[in-house]
Amino acid sequence: MSLRIGTRGSALALAQTNKVAGMLADRGIEAEVVTVTTEGDTATGVPLHAIGGQGVFVRALDDAILRGEIDAAVHSMKDIPAARPAGLTCCAILERDSPADFLVHECPLDAVSVIGSSSTRRRAQLLRDAPALEVKQLRGNVDTRIRKLREGQYDAIVLAEAGLERLGLTLPGEPLPTDRFVPSPNQGTIAVVCRDDPAVAGAFAPLDHAPTRLDVEIERAVMEEVGGGCFTPQGIYCRDGNLIAEVLALDGSRWERIERHVAALDEAREWGRALRVQAAGLIREAYAALGIKP
């Protein structure tokens, strides 16, 4: 059996896809890696929320699967929107890597005053932790972000620790604690999406890691109930059923948060609905400030 696996063209996306292809090769399955360009890769001069959020990275690959140009696609699972097209299935979720954010800086930590990040969540959590910081927009792939840091445009930048590990990069700095800087839902997780075909899905099934799948499905259930997409600053992280979920004001000045042990998806949805009620005002504020219609 030979499969065509689609991916974005960034170094990180290719590293993740090659990891999956290598796991298939270990099982005697050939895979061709096909690069697909997305709007999120080309429109780097505007904030992510202005072009549709993280979903722009997924849409082009979804369409390529549905057109039959590729059999499957590999994603950072946190990029996959809650609403999914018919005809696709998430056939494998790999064992989770580090879920943490990593603060990269070459100057002393106490000298950091300007941090680069395009994430509304990271911005809000950084400002909550240190309100005097200036958090400036930063788009582009990992290499571009590191170059801008070294050019002195920022004192520090925030990247996903898992991405650095997958690229084999060792950079100065430290991971941010996940209880204070609660990660995005599914951060650190690689997912494989394929057309809803038992033969194709079955080829990827041995790569699935059941404990990770349960944790990230709990996170997604909470995310779906809270709503707000990637526009509202929110962190949702579950490990072994221990859930932390929070929604923040854009400036980090206020937040609503729950911490619970969750054993089932129905229970996760209940807590997601509860958090949505608690955080309704913050969600409305974020949409209004960003000029987005609910």
- Residues designated catalytic: 79
Which residues share a beta bridge with 234?
Answer: 247
Buried b (16+ CB within 10 A) or exposed e, 138-173: bbbbbeebbebbeeeebbbbbbbbbbbebbebebeb
Residues 294 and 287 sit within 8 Å (Cβ to Cβ): yes
SS3 state at 248: strand
Task: Give Cα 17 distance to the centre of its chain.
Answer: 16
Q: What angle do CA 125, 127, 133 make, to 5 degrees?
A: 135
Residues 126 and 117 sit within 8 Å (Cβ to Cβ): yes
Distance CA 294, CA 284 (A): 8
Place of tokens 């499957």: 72
SS3 state at 252: coil
Residue 182, phi-psi category: left (phi > 0), alpha (psi -120 to 50), beta (remainder): beta
Q: Which amino acid is at 147?
A: R
